[in-house]
A and B are shown apart, each in its own frame.
Chain A
Amino acid sequence: MGFLDIDNTTKSYGSVEVLHKVDISIEEGEFLVLVGPSGCGKSTLLNMIAGLEEITSGEIRIKDNVMNGVHPSKRNIAMVFQSYALYPNMTVGQNITFGLEMHGVAKPEREKAMQDVARLLQIEQLLDRKPGQLSGGQRQRVAMGRALVRNPDVFLFDEPLSNLDAKLRVDMRTEIKKLHQSLGTTIVYVTHDQIEALTLSTRIAVMNGGYVQQLGTPQEIYDKPENIFVATFMGSPAMNVVPAVVRVDGGVPQAEIVLFDGSKARLPFSQPNLTAWDGRDILLGIRPEAITDHDSADRKSGNIASLSNRIVVTEPAGSDMFVSMQLGGKDVIARMRSDADVRAGQDFEFAVNMEKAIAFDPETEARIQP
C-alpha cells in the first residue's frame, strides 16, 4: 500500500459518470501531477481526495486510513485553490492561522507557526495586510503559507499558477519545486499545462474524459506514451503522428511513408517485434526533436535514418528553428538548431532518430508494445 491510494474510484453526477475507475497509488514525498484537457475530471478527483466531493464508488486512503465519508478538516490535508481563496475580511496573518484556530491550537503556538511559515515564504512584512492589498504573486505565497502552516500529510494544489503572468508563473514553479525538495511533502497538483507537469512532478497521471490514460514518471510519459492521446498531449510542439505501412526487409521492420511528392521512403525501426505487422498500417510517432539535420543528430543513437523531403515553412523561434514538411499527408514539424541553413522550398536531407520512434495501432490508438 502506498501513502495515498486512489483505489478503483469512480464519480458520478446523477447518471453521468465523470471519473471511471481511477487507480493511482503514490508514495510519501511524491509529487503527483494530474494533467489533462479542460473537463477531464482533474479538479473532481482532487476534490474527492480533499473530501469536498463525495466518492461514488471505490476507496481513497491516506496512510492506509479510508477517507470515504471523512470530513475535509479531519483528513490532514491542505489545499491551495486556483483563486487562492484568501478570506477577504481577515489579515494575512489571520488567514494563515485560521485553520489552526479552528483546530483548537493555542494562540502562542499559532503565532510561532505563523512566524515560521512567513519566514519560509518571505511574507513577514505582509502579515498585517488584507488580501485585497496584495499582488497576485504575494497572494499565491499567502495561500501556500496557509497550506504549509498546518503541516499536513498531503498538499493539494488546483491550478495554483494559472492566474499569474508568464514570468511569475515560471518563478513560482521553481519555488514550489524547491519547497517540495526541501520539505519532502507529498503533493497532488492539478494543471492543464503539460510543461508544468513535466517540470514539477515525480509522477504524472495524464487524464482524458474521466480516464487515467497513463501514469508514470515524466520521462516515461514523454518517451514511452501509451497511446496517441498521451503522445500528442504531452510535449510542445506536439509529437508528429503520420500514417505508415510496415515493410519487413532483410528481417528488419521498416516504416514506409509517403513524401511530399507521392514517392515513398523507408525508415528502419529499432523495435524487432514489429515484423509481425508486416504489410499492415500503423501510425508512426516521432517527436520534433528526433528530426534534425545530420550534424546535430543524437550521437548516442544507434539508429539514425536519412529522409529527403521538401521544406514547406521555416519558423525561427529564438533557441530553435521549427521546420515543417509534408509526410504521409500530414504536416510534420522538425526541431533544428536556430542557425540551421534551411529555406522554405528547399529539398533537405533530414536525420530521423528512429530509436525514439513509436508505433501505434491505428485501430486502438494504443502503443504497439516492444
Chain B
Amino acid sequence: MSVASQDTAIRTGRVTRKLIYLVLVLFALFYMLPLYVMLVNSVKPLSEITGGGMMNLPQAFTLEPWAKAWSSAQIGVEPTGLAPYFWNSIKMVVPAVAVSTVLGALNGYVLTKWRFKYDTILFGLMLFACFIPFQIVLIPMARMLGLMGLAGTTWGLALVHVVYGIGFTTLYFRNYYAVFPTELIRAAQIDGAGFFQIFWRILLPSSGPIAVVSVIWQFTNIWNDFLFGASFAGADSQPMTVALNNLVQASHGVKEYNVHFAGAILAAMPTLLVYIVAGRYFVRGLMAGSVKG
C-alpha cells in the first residue's frame, strides 16, 4: 500500500508540502474543536462553565458529571441516569445490525448467484427502501407494530430498523457479490455444497470488507436514530438518543451543562468506538467492488 502510494504520489517541493500539512492540521483542529469543548466541559464543575470560559481547561478536574449522566441524572421523571437507556439501545442495535446484515448478505447472494425472472426489478424495488423518507412510514409502521403486538417494545424498534436497513445492506452485498466469480459457486455446486453451505463456506468467508461496511453503516444509523425511537419506543424501551434529548430538554431546575456534555459523549461513544476499531476496513470495503484484482 505505502509503496504504491509513494509511486503514484505527485512530487512536490518541500515548501508546498509543508503548506499542505499546515492547512490539513488547521482543518483537523477545526473539526476537533467541538469534541474538545465537550470533553473539557464534561470534567468541570458547573460553576466554571456558567462563569464563562467554555474554552478553558478545567481548574478543578471532576468526573462527577460523568457519573451523574450515567447513573443518577433526571431523565423525564425518573432519576435513573442514561444507563438503562444505553442498554436499551444496545439491545436494539445488536440484533438489528446482525439481522439486517445477514439478510442483506443473503439477498445479495440470491440476487447475483441464483438469478430468477424479474430479479433486477425486485432489486430496484428494494433500493426504494433507501430513498423513502422516515416520516412517510411513521403512521403505517405504528399500525403494523400494533397489529403484531410489538408496539412500544425494543424488539419492535429493532424490527423497524431491520426493515429499513435491508435496502442498504442488500445494495452493498449485491454489488460486492456481483464481481464475485460465479465459477466458484458452480465449482461448489459440483462439489456437492448446498445453498446455505455455499453461502457459509464459500461466500461469507470472502465477505469481510463489505460486512464491515454494512455493520458500520447500520450501527451508526440505528444508534443515532432519533425519530423512530421517539415515535415507536415505550417508556421503558427508549433508546439512548431519546433519553439524551430528555436529559438536555428537561425544563425544570438548573441546566447542568457539564452533565449534558458527558451524556452526549456517552451517547456518541459506541459509534466512535466502532469507527476506530473497524474504520480502516470501511474505506477498503467501499473500494473493493471498484478496484478488484
Contact = CB atoms under 8 A, between A and B. Distances in A.
A77 interface: yes
Contacts of B183: 81-83, 85
Contacts of B193: 73, 98, 102
B113 to A, nearest CB: 12
Interface string A61-99: 000000000011100011101110101110000000011
B62 interface: no
Nearest to A75: B190
B184 to A, nearest CB: 5
A130 B82 CA distance: 48
In the complex, the 3 A-B pairs of residues with the closest C-beta atoms, listed nearest first: A73-B192, A99-B191, A102-B192
Contacts of A79: 186-187, 190
A50 interface: yes
Contacts of A87: 184, 187-188, 201-202
A102 B202 CA distance: 13
B192 A85 contact: no
Interface in B180-216: 181, 183-184, 186-193, 197, 201-202, 205-206
A47 B189 CA distance: 12
Interface in A16-61: 47, 50-52
A178 interface: no
Contact of B189 (A73, A88, A103): A73
Contacts of A82: 183
Given A87-B202, A89-B205, A98 B191 contact: yes
Chain A CB count within 10 A is highest, among B192, B193, B202, B205, for: B192
Contact of A99 (B184, B190, B202, B205): B190
18 contacts: A47-B186, A50-B186, A52-B186, A52-B189, A73-B190, A73-B192, A77-B190, A81-B187, A82-B183, A85-B183, A87-B184, A87-B188, A87-B202, A88-B184, A99-B192, A102-B197, A103-B192, A146-B191
Interface in A91-117: 98-99, 102-103
Given A73-B192, A102-B197, 10 more contacts: A52-B189, A72-B190, A73-B189, A83-B181, A87-B201, A88-B184, A88-B206, A98-B188, A103-B192, A146-B187
Contacts of A103: 192
Contacts of A73: 189-193
Contact of A85 (B186, B201, B206): B186
Contacts of B201: 87, 98
A85 B183 CA distance: 6
Nearest to A158: B183
Chain A interface size range:
20 to 34
Contacts of B191: 73, 98-99, 102, 146
Nearest to A99: B191
Interface string B22-49: 0000000000000000000000000000
Given A81-B183, A83-B181, A102-B197, A72 B205 contact: no
A71 B188 CA distance: 12
A81 B188 contact: no
A58 to B, nearest CB: 22
A52 B192 CA distance: 12
Nearest to B205: A89
Contacts of B197: 102
Contact of B184 (A50, A51, A78, A85): A85
A51 B190 CA distance: 8
Interface string B126-152: 000000000000000000000000000
A18 B205 CA distance: 36
A50 B192 CA distance: 12
Nearest to A82: B183
Nearest to B185: A85
Contacts of B205: 89
A81 B183 CA distance: 7
Contacts of B202: 87, 89
A186 B91 CA distance: 58
Contacts of B188: 87, 98
Nearest to A78: B190
Interface in B94-146: none
B190 A50 contact: yes
A51 B192 CA distance: 12
Contacts of B184: 85, 87-88
B94 to A, nearest CB: 26
A99 B181 CA distance: 18
Contacts of A81: 183, 186-187
Interface string A110-142: 000000000000000000000000000000000
Contacts of B187: 79, 81, 85, 87, 146
Nearest to B187: A85
A47 B190 CA distance: 11
A144 to B, nearest CB: 13
Contacts of B206: 88-89
Nearest to B183: A85
A77 to B, nearest CB: 7
A243 B205 CA distance: 62
Contacts of A51: 190
Interface string B149-193: 000000000000000000000000000000001011011111111
A146 B201 CA distance: 16
Contacts of A85: 181, 183-184, 186-187
Chain A CB count within 10 A is highest, among B184, B190, B191, B192, for: B190
B202 to A, nearest CB: 6
B80 to A, nearest CB: 46
A72 B194 CA distance: 11
A52 B191 CA distance: 12
B98 to A, nearest CB: 21
Contacts of A52: 186, 189-190
A102 B206 CA distance: 19
Nearest to B189: A72
